[in-house]
Amino acid sequence: MNFNSVKSSYLLIVLILLGLGSSAQVKYIAHRGASYYAPENSLAAIKLAWELGADGAECDIQLTKDNQIVLWHDDNTERLTGVKLDIAKATFADLRRLKIKLSATNSVYFEGQQMPSLKEVLKALSKDQLLVIEIKCGKEIFPELQKVIRQSWKTGNIAFIGFGFETISMAKSIFPKVPCYYLSSSKEDVLKRIPDIQKNKLDGVDLYSKIIDQQLVEELRKANAGIWCWTVDALDETIRMNELGVNVITTNRPTWLKEQMAVKGIPNK
């Protein structure tokens, strides 16, 4: 099956899902964009996630040596390009020259993708789309991030997530109207931080799905904290998250999970 037929099939699925009802509350966010078909964190992957009907696209951001904000997950470029450059020690021009290798599942249609800037992605964001931005570095990114958000974010919705508690708390203080969620893979860590989550006015947490249980959900609900999770690709885990009342599910298979939940007639909580 070629890319165009795959894309057409998914668009048909989206139309079917819309016909089944628009009251769905759980949102499915494409992990690093539609990274199954296009290179992760590429502009193509982000755009394709929206086109295929995901409720949003997630990406990772870092700061280059010359203070440009780029979409990239790893500290260096070796895994995805075969050339090792440290993101924080390289200029955007040097990074931009690299071509991102296709993964085993990527379509050749997307060959030759380059590292995008956050500016480019924000400019592609339309009014009905959501971009979830994971801050991979520290506080040093905020002067440039403020500038980029002010100049390039004109439409659509954004949210920030991050593993660094101080960093995501600072994001909330700088961007009070933007939803900010603390990432964690430890139940004990989350329970310990609930008072600080409230104090810093974070909107909630974004958790490794396996640590989420009824007790943790109840404690977070008491604190009026929203609950997101990552990275769920299996249907049984998606059903479990749905039953626990998780608000947002980050996944590599957003359209497939939406289709399967609809086919099984499982209502969102």
- HSE-CB at 230 with a 13 A cutoff on CA atoms is 21
Cβ atoms within 10 Å of 227's Cβ, excluding its own: 21
Which H or E run includes 181?
strand 180-184
- Tell me which residue range forms the domain holding 220: 3-263
All residue ranges of the chain with pLDDT < 50 are 1, 3, 5-24
* Domain CATH code at residue 204: 3.20.20.190
Q: In this predicted structure, what is the pLDDT of residue 11?
A: 45
Q: In this predicted structure, what is the pLDDT of residue 6?
A: 45
Which DSSP category does 195 fall into? H
Percent of the chain with pLDDT over 90: 88
Q: In this predicted structure, what is the pLDDT of residue 14?
A: 41
Q: Are 73 and 65 in contact (CB under 8 A)?
A: no
Q: Any idea how long the chain is?
A: 269
Q: What share of the chain is helix, strand, coil (3-state, %, to 5)?
A: 45, 20, 40
Please state the domain count of the chain.
1
Residue 268 lies in a domain: no
Residue 8 lies in a domain: yes
Residue 33 lies in a domain: yes
**How far does Cα 2 stand from its chain's mean position?**
26
Q: In this predicted structure, what is the pLDDT of residue 24?
A: 47
Of 192, 256, 248, which is closest to residue 220 (Cα–Cα)?
192
What's the alpha-carbon Rg for the chain, to the nearest Å? 18
Report the predicted TM-score, pTM, of the whole model to 2 decimal places.
Answer: 0.91
The string of pLDDT tens digits covering residues 10-56 is 444 443 333 333 334 899 999 999 999 999 999 999 999 999 999 99
Q: In this predicted structure, what is the pLDDT of residue 2?
A: 54
Distance CA 181, CA 15 (A): 30
Distance CA 98, CA 82 (A): 9
Residue 269 lies in a domain: no
Q: In this predicted structure, what is the pLDDT of residue 231?
A: 97
SS3 state at 105? coil
Distance CA 75, CA 85 (A): 9
Distance CA 64, CA 87 (A): 5
Angstrom distances, CA of residue 150 to CA of 57, 66, 137, 142, 154: 20, 19, 20, 12, 8
